[in-house]
Structure 1
Amino acid sequence: MTASSLAPFTAADYRVRMARAARAASDAGLAGLLVAPGPDLVWLTGYAPPAATERLTLLVLTPGHDPVLVVPALEAPDAAKASGAPALTLCDWTDGKDPYALTAELLGPTGTFVVSDNAWAMHLLNLQKALPGTSYASFTDALPMLRAVKDGQELELLAAAGAAADAAFEEIRTVRFTGRRESEIAAYLADLLRRFGHSQVDFTIVASGPNGADPHHEAGDRVIEHGDMVVLDFGGLRDGYGSDTSRTVHVGEPTDEERRVHDLVRRAQEAGFRAVRPGAACQEVDRAARAVIEDAGYGEYFIHRTGHGIGVTTHEPPYMIEGEEQPLVPGMCFSVEPGVYLPGRFGVRIEDIVTVTEDGGRRLNGTTREMVIVD
């Protein structure tokens, strides 16, 4: 297992991000941030340590102090190669030493620290034991918008990932669906994503016929038949940034009802997109899309939120859901993906990634949202 730098950013870029994160923590009245391996560490430093390691690796960001990365000695050479390493002080520890005591020396004896959501419970509990006067809050609760607003370079990477996913759809729509298993189409979709530049494929949902009524259906052995509606939802990481798009195709000519439901979801998706503008609350995007579906009498069949943020992961804040009053800000990126799911029959979902602009929104997916007929 080796570490990697997942996006073409410089040490100066990472220095700005770490300073911004420390400032956000201070503004929130927090003592600092503790960042374990995962997307937050990659975004802040460019360092992606081995996912399977049980040894403590922790970025310590405290206001008024230089960033410090606590890292196992055997991983320190790889950490030193990360793009953000010149903006860090590496503090390594060897097996047999107490990394929690070492980390405690970098923190004050009291205060509330933000901990990245995917930190191991073992590490957090040992830190609490070493510093009984401290308390901890999760990133999602304390600083949910830390990674939400993308800079220009991040937007370019997200746009490129979206274009790659679009290219995969344009290719998959030309192949024969009839008589093939869902798993075959899913495997081909994954190959296409890789062909168009993805280094990581996170999901390739292929949900045919009645399976389409399950929003997170795992592609299986069902043979796709003439007359099936097929939900395609796929994405992953390209140059460290995410893609995620959904289109619903039909094998052969659809019925009038299938056309009507597909068009309903298309109109709901358009309404959600049109609701995107600076200052609007996230929930307004959900409300706009949901109202179209509810007005048509299908409200009970729209069973999930309208969208989720995307960046160095394919699902992250902000969320387009009722009750989320966070205002939209230029540079935020998220999905708009309403759906209708009719149990035992079929489902329809249409999804684009959208970024907030100064005067509205811009789609990062450009394939047709009209019904596509496949063989």
Structure 2
Amino acid sequence: MSGRLSQHPDLCPADRVERAQQGAVQAGLDALLISPGADLRYLTGYAAHPLERLTCLVVPARGEPFLVVPLLEKPSAAASPAVGLGIEIVGWAETEDPYALIAKRLGGSLRRVGLDKQMWAEQVLAFQRSLPSGAELDLAGGVLGEMRMRKSPAEVEALRKAGAAIDRVHSSMGEWLRVGRTEREVARDIADAILAEHATVDFVIVASGPNSASPHHETSDRVIGAGEPVVVDIGGTTQDGYCSDSTRNYCVGGRPDAGYQKLFEVLLAAQRAQCEAAGPGITSGRLDAVGRTVIADAGYGEYFVHRTGHGIGLETHEEPYIVAGSAHVLEPGMTFSIEPGIYVPGRYGARIEDIVVCNNGIGAERLNGTPRDLVQL
């Protein structure tokens, strides 16, 4: 199932570019300039390679959008859903200046232009030189972020499939996670399994024993011992371009000590409380506080060192962010992780992570279904 991302046309409906134009007008932007990345895929379905040669979707606030691509990439662009959206594809030759081409087509009355947040610095500077003097460069995130964080039913279904795919990998963990193997050996097997279910492997964390106290440990040559807790946090991107991300906790060859078991029960209660509280109307900051309070009341507050979660969709980390102090109100269609963790330096740690979607009237639906209890192998 591995291969280049090829987002299904149903996941890039024709009204998105028009909505982006409306958002640009409301934000006081004269145009949006979108380079390869999640924003381009969201608007057009085109999974362009990020190259030193400029590829850029140009969305004037008023007027027809067009996609500027190197001539050698034009066949790929022409085979993407962008063509079906009626977007003109403009190829540029090696001796042409694509920045001047875009500036000329946009005209000389630009005041503010929004750039996608992942545009390379050299491209930003080239636009700065080519666009009319006095044209202010700003971020397009206020427009595109607002659109992307509210998922359509088709996007939710794509995330549901991604969640089921990563669940299948977790369900097979007993095939690879054994006493005497190194974290790196286990991670290689997990990566192969993710690739069988997804188009790409985005990350594999296998953190055993004291390494489990490091939230982003990844892997090492440490040998997994009997009775040690192991945090496995894994994710990939499906063929349709949507991401998975799920964390479960394992113990192999024996039971962990009583201190860890107590810690884990507190964490399980915190994550359950947050999943029950998640839903339209609660703020991100309040949702973070629900789990943080459970953990702090049990005496582990100093060991919960990161935010509760992050939005997910075409990127593993995107808006909304579930973080302390945020006044952002969650709405139907928003998808995000709920992943509280407790990490005791030098000893052990644990994190439980599910992806959830806010639904009208029924709170939040978990898109992961594997057991959240400590799994004994």
On whether the aligned pair clears a TM of 0.5, the verdict is yes
SS of residue matched to 1:33: strand
Unmatched tracts of structure 1, length 5 or more:
none
The alpha carbon displacement at 1:261 in A equals 0.6
Residue-by-residue CA offset, 1:252-286 (whole Å, 9 max, x unaligned): 11222111111111111112212212122111221
The residue number in structure 1 matching 2:71 is 73
Once residues 243 and 65 of structure 1 are traced to their aligned partners in structure 2, the CA distance between those partners, rounded to angstroms, is 37
SS of residue matched to 2:126: helix
Once residues 361 and 50 of structure 1 are traced to their aligned partners in structure 2, the CA distance between those partners, rounded to angstroms, is 35
SS of residue matched to 1:126: helix
The alpha carbon displacement at 1:39 in A equals 1.1
The residue number in structure 2 matching 1:63 is 61
Partner AA of 2:145 in structure 1: P
Partner AA of 1:44 in structure 2: L
Tell me if the contact between 1:117 and 1:138 (Cα under 8 Å) persists in the aligned partners: yes
Once residues 179 and 278 of structure 2 are traced to their aligned partners in structure 1, the CA distance between those partners, rounded to angstroms, is 38
The alpha carbon displacement at 1:223 in A equals 0.1
The residue number in structure 1 matching 2:371 is 368
Once residues 317 and 273 of structure 1 are traced to their aligned partners in structure 2, the CA distance between those partners, rounded to angstroms, is 18
Once residues 349 and 335 of structure 2 are traced to their aligned partners in structure 1, the CA distance between those partners, rounded to angstroms, is 25
Once residues 155 and 27 of structure 1 are traced to their aligned partners in structure 2, the CA distance between those partners, rounded to angstroms, is 27
Answering whether residue 205 of structure 2 is matched by residue 202 of structure 1, we say no
Superposed, which structure 2 residues align to 1:107-122 within 5 Å? 107-108=106-107, 109-122=109-122
Identity, % of aligned positions: 44
Partner AA of 1:242 in structure 2: C
SS of residue matched to 1:129: helix
Residue-by-residue CA offset, 1:119-169 (whole Å, 9 max, x unaligned): 111111111112222112224456432211111111111001100111111
Question: Structure 2 vs 1, CA of residues 367 and 10 (structure 1 numbering), >3 Å: closer, same or farther?
Answer: closer
Tell me if the contact between 1:318 and 1:334 (Cα under 8 Å) persists in the aligned partners: yes
Q: Which moved more, 1:15-24 or 1:161-170?
A: 15-24
The residue number in structure 2 matching 1:257 is 259
Superposed, which structure 2 residues align to 1:31-70 within 5 Å? 31-51=30-50, 53-70=51-68
Tell me if the contact between 1:14 and 1:46 (Cα under 8 Å) persists in the aligned partners: no
Question: Structure 2 vs 1, CA of residues 225 and 150 (structure 1 numbering), >3 Å: closer, same or farther?
Answer: same
Residue-by-residue CA offset, 1:185-211 (whole Å, 9 max, x unaligned): 11111111122x211111110000010
Unmatched tracts of structure 2, length 5 or more:
none
Once residues 260 and 28 of structure 2 are traced to their aligned partners in structure 1, the CA distance between those partners, rounded to angstroms, is 53
Partner AA of 2:214 in structure 1: D
Question: Structure 2 vs 1, CA of residues 220 and 369 (structure 1 numbering), >3 Å: closer, same or farther?
Answer: same
Once residues 342 and 102 of structure 1 are traced to their aligned partners in structure 2, the CA distance between those partners, rounded to angstroms, is 56
Superposed CA RMSD in Å reads 1.7
Tell me if the contact between 2:303 and 2:342 (Cα under 8 Å) persists in the aligned partners: yes
Tell me if the contact between 1:337 and 1:351 (Cα under 8 Å) persists in the aligned partners: yes
Answering whether residue 305 of structure 2 is matched by residue 303 of structure 1, we say yes
Partner AA of 1:6 in structure 2: S
Select 1:353's aligned residue among 350, 355, 370: 355
The residue number in structure 1 matching 2:26 is 27
Q: Which moved more, 1:72-81 or 1:174-183?
A: 174-183
Once residues 61 and 151 of structure 1 are traced to their aligned partners in structure 2, the CA distance between those partners, rounded to angstroms, is 22
The residue number in structure 2 matching 1:190 is 191
The alpha carbon displacement at 1:173 in A equals 3.2
Tell me if the contact between 2:333 and 2:358 (Cα under 8 Å) persists in the aligned partners: yes
Q: How many corresponding residue pairs?
A: 369
Once residues 35 and 150 of structure 1 are traced to their aligned partners in structure 2, the CA distance between those partners, rounded to angstroms, is 20
Superposed, which structure 2 residues align to 1:88-103 within 5 Å? 88-103=87-102
Q: Which moved more, 1:300-309 or 1:106-115?
A: 106-115
SS of residue matched to 2:112: strand
Tell me if the contact between 1:206 and 1:219 (Cα under 8 Å) persists in the aligned partners: yes
The residue number in structure 2 matching 1:105 is 104
The residue number in structure 2 matching 1:84 is 82
Tell me if the contact between 1:6 and 1:42 (Cα under 8 Å) persists in the aligned partners: no
The alpha carbon displacement at 1:101 in A equals 1.1
SS of residue matched to 1:106: helix
The alpha carbon displacement at 1:115 in A equals 0.9
Question: Structure 2 vs 1, CA of residues 158 and 209 (structure 1 numbering), >3 Å: closer, same or farther?
Answer: same
Tell me if the contact between 1:5 and 1:46 (Cα under 8 Å) persists in the aligned partners: no
Residue-by-residue CA offset, 1:195-231 (whole Å, 9 max, x unaligned): 2x21111111000001011100021100000121100
Structure 1 residue ranges (4+ consecutive) displaced by more than 3 angstroms after TM superposition: 139-143, 173-176
The alpha carbon displacement at 1:174 in A equals 4.8
Partner AA of 2:53 in structure 1: R
Partner AA of 1:250 in structure 2: C
Superposed, which structure 2 residues align to 1:319-338 within 5 Å? 319-338=321-340
Partner AA of 2:372 in structure 1: R
Once residues 7 and 143 of structure 1 are traced to their aligned partners in structure 2, the CA distance between those partners, rounded to angstroms, is 18
Residue-by-residue CA offset, 1:54-110 (whole Å, 9 max, x unaligned): 011110112231211011112112111101223201122111111111111233533
TM, length-normalised to structure 2 = 0.94
